[in-house]
Structure 1
Amino acid sequence: MPNSLIRSTGYWVPSNVITNDELVASYNAYAERFNAEHAAAIAAGEIDEVPLSNSDFIVNASGIKRRHVYEKDGILDIERMVPQIAPRPIEEISTQAEFALKSVNEALERAGYDGKDIDGVIVASSAQQRNFPGVSCEIQNAIGAKGFSFDLTMACASALYGLHIANGFIKSGEAKRILVCSPEIMTCINVHSRRDVHFIFGDASAAMIVEADDGRPGGWDVLGTHAENKWSSALRSDFGFINRAERQIDPDYEPHLDQDGHRVFKDVVGFAPKVARNLMTKIDLQPEDVRRTWLHQANIRMVDMIAKRILGRDRTEENAPAILDEYGNTSSSSVVMNFQMHSDDMAAGETGVMCAFGAGYGVGAAAVRKR
């Protein structure tokens, strides 16, 4: 049974940046207009007043100071509050596939490979641009890869679910080299008119090349992977193909992102470290032998607590780095970005643990050792 390794990674973020102050100014302008237009109904208790936001609230709640976004003007325009992305003819590459290729091409270049060296493509992200054909099929075609391709979605844990599946394919001999990519244009999903979520997401794409060990130096040995779920709808996005049918019953229905933040925090902080520690126990990896953990960037308080429970010691920027302040929550791409940004300083033989957690609740974990 061949062992698998992460040969290379790649990531890409857009150059457009929205600061907290910019986002708050836009959101508060929307809230003040809404409250003024509905003052009578608010006073009568028929609808709730839209609360204002502020930058201190965002930093305290999440640790986020900025986020990189695919398209900026539409988000800040209170008449829209969504990115403006032009539809493309079917003969052109799709927006999400093009977005993915930014990180895919970097991962290929870092590995010294061409697309033809890949025999499996997995698009693992919170949402795909279309139901079919798979975005993975389009990426496979664009790079000239062979073999299979498919899309999967497990919210913020998607990239590590993709790694878990790739690891299984390689160990079984079904594939020798698999591309896992996570193009996350989360600002298209987000509801920028809701105070509890308007600041959360940024956009980013990340990719990993996972392959069978052929004895060559370099890369990261995959010591073990694990994925586990515990059902919850406390964090939910209702965008989907049934929305058109739902509007036949309620023409005003608008799907939205919703979360019970306090419940999600409590549940996930309890669940995610257990999944990671169970994997560590399975492969006889002790917390003191883990140099670093790379976590999904949900919010800084979750990162603090989950890191401490995985490592058995307080989080520091050395043992569990955070990238929230610059990029926000970029869903499943964040753990791969974090890994790439904060792994070059590790020595051969040192071990780290990736852990990603999100809606579902789904948790993915992977233990890796630098070669």
Structure 2
Amino acid sequence: MQTSIIRSTGSWVPEDVITNEELVASYNSYAERFNADNAAAIAAGEMAEVPLSSAEFIVNASGIERRHVVEKAGILNIDTLVPRIEPRPFEDVAFQAECAMKAVTPALDKAGIAGSEVDGVIVASSAQQRNFPGMACEIQDMIGSTGFSFDLTMACASALYGLHIANGMIKSGQAKRILVCSPEIMTCINVHSRRDVHFIFGDAASAILVESDEGREGGWEVLGTHCQNKYSIALRSDFGFLNEAERTVQPDHEPGLDQDGHKVFKDVVGFAPTVAKSLMQQIDLAPEDVRRTWLHQANIRMVDMIAKRILGRDRTPENAPAILQEYGNTSSSSVVINFEQHSEDMAAGENGVMCAFGAGYGVGAAAVRKR
């Protein structure tokens, strides 16, 4: 059986940044206008008042201080509350594919690999810009690969599900080199008019190049991967191709992001560490032999608790770094960006564990060793 290696990673975040203070000012203006316009209905109990937010609330609830976004003005405009993205002609590169390439290109460059040497492309992200053709097909064409390609979606665990598939295919000899990329344009999914979610997401893209071990020095040996699901509707997004058909029955239907935050927190904090620990048991990797864990950046309390349960010791910035204060939740790209930013200091022979968790519920884990 072949040995699977993470040869390189790449990442990208947009230049536009929204601080908590800017986001709160916009959201509160929207809330105050909504409440004033609907004062009579709210007073009659026919409609709920939209609560105000604050920068302190956001930090206490999540640890997030700012987020990078693909387009700032549209999100902060209380008449739109979504990014402004200009439609493109069919013959132009898709917006999401363009974002993905900003992470793919540095990953290939760092590896010294041409796109034509890639056997397969997996786009693993929370949502794709279109139903078909697959976003992976477009990226495959852009890099000059002639193998297979497909899209995969498993919410915030998508990148590690992609890594899990790539690892299995390489170990079994079905491919020698697979690119997993995760362009996450989450501000287009988020509902910026809801206090409990308006601050969560940022935008980013990541890429992982996985290959069979052919004697090249460096990289990270993939010791094992594991994915597991437990169905829940506590966190969901209903955007999809059925929406227009639904509006023929209910014209004002507005699908969106829905979250029972307290339930998600409780469920995932219990579930995610069991998946990571199951992987560690499968490969005889003891917690004390893991120097670092790179976790999906959902919120800082989840990072604290899940890290402690995986490592068997309190989280520190050294053993489980956090990046959400700068980027917010960038869905599945967050675990890869975290790994990329906090792995160079590790020595050959040291072990680490990635763990990502999200709607589904889906949890992905990967154990790696620095070469």
TM-score above 0.5, yes or no:
yes
- Does structure 1 residue 228 correspond to structure 2 residue 192? no
Q: In the alignment, what sits opposite 1:262?
A: 262
TM, length-normalised to structure 1: 1.00
What is aligned with 1:80?
A: 80
Matched residue, 2:185: 185
| Structure 2 alignment gaps of length 5 or more | none
Tell me the residue number matched to 1:19: 19
In 2, distance between residues paired with 1:158 and 1:344? 24
In structure 2, how many angstroms separate the alpha carbons of the residues matched to 1:213 and 1:243?
Answer: 46
Q: Deviations over 1:145-172 (max 9, x none)?
A: 1210000000000000000000011011
For normalisation by structure 2, the TM-score amounts to: 1.00
- Match for 1:178: what amino acid? I
1:262 alignment partner AA? H
* Structure 2 partner of 1:271: 271
Between the aligned partners of 2:274 and 2:76, the Cα distance in structure 1 is: 39
Tell me what 2:63 maps to: 63
Give 1:291 deviation, angstroms: 0.2
CA shift digits 1:24-43 (9 cap, x unpaired): 00000000000000001000
Runs of 4+ in 1 over 2 A off after TM superposition: none
Partner of 1:252: 252
In structure 1, the residue corresponding to 2:40 is in which secondary structure? Answer: helix
| C-alpha separation in 2, matches of 1:346 and 1:315 | 17
Structure 2 partner of 1:8: 8
Secondary structure of the 2:325 match is helix
Question: How far apart, CA to CA, are the structure 1 residues paired with 2:361 and 2:223?
Answer: 24
**1:284 shift after superposition:** 0.1
Give me the whole-angstrom Cα distance separating, in 2, the residues matched to 1:144 and 1:290: 38
- 1:295 corresponds in structure 2 to 295
Instruction: Name the CA distance, whole Å, in 2 between partners of 1:111 and 1:253.
Output: 47
Q: In structure 2, what residue type is equivalent to 1:147? A: G
Shift of 1:256: 0.5
Shift of 1:175: 0.5
Q: For 1:264, what is the secondary structure of its paired residue?
A: helix
The CA deviation at 1:216 is 1.2
Task: Kindly report which structure 2 residues correspond to 1:69-108, keeping only aligned pairs within 5 A, or say none.
Answer: 69-108=69-108
Q: Which residue of 2 aligns with 1:141?
A: 141
Alpha-carbon distance in structure 1 between the residues aligned to 2:324 and 2:91: 37
| 2:68 counterpart letter in structure 1 | H
Which position in structure 2 is the counterpart of 1:319?
Answer: 319
SS of residue paired to 2:306: helix
**SS of match in other structure, 2:353:** strand
Query: Which segments of 5 or more consecutive residues in structure 1 lack a partner in the other structure?
Result: none
- Tell me which residue corresponds to 2:168: 168
What residue number does 1:285 align with? 285
State the one-letter code of the partner of 1:189.
I
Measure the CA separation in 2 of the matches of 1:213 and 1:286. Answer: 25
Percent identity between the two aligned chains:
78
Q: Deviations over 1:211-238 (max 9, x none)?
A: 0011111000000000000000100000
Distance 1:259 1:206 in 2: 25
Partner of 2:365: 365
Q: Distance in 1 between matches of 2:91 and 2:302?
A: 43
Correspondence for 2:199: 199
Deviation at 1:364, TM superposition (A): 0.1
Instruction: Tell me the secondary structure at the aligned position of residue 363 of structure 2.
Output: strand
Could you report, residue by residue, the CA deviation over 1:50-83 in whole angstroms, capped at 9, with x for unpaired residues? 0000000000000000000000000000000000
User: C-alpha offsets along residues 122-160 of structure 1, whole Å, 9 cap, x if unaligned?
Assistant: 000000000000000000000101210000000000000
Count of aligned positions:
371
Given residue 164 of structure 1, which amino acid in structure 2 is its aligned partner?
A: H
Following the alignment from structure 2 to structure 1, what is the Cα–Cα distance between the partners of residues 213 and 245? Answer: 49
CA RMSD of aligned residues (A): 0.3
Q: How far does the alpha carbon of each residue in 1:285-314 deviate from its partner, in whole angstroms, 9 at most, with x for none?
A: 000000000000000000000000000000
Q: Secondary structure at the match of 2:278?
A: helix
Tell me the distance in 2 between the aligned counterparts of 1:57 and 1:316: 23
Distance 1:346 1:170 in 2: 25
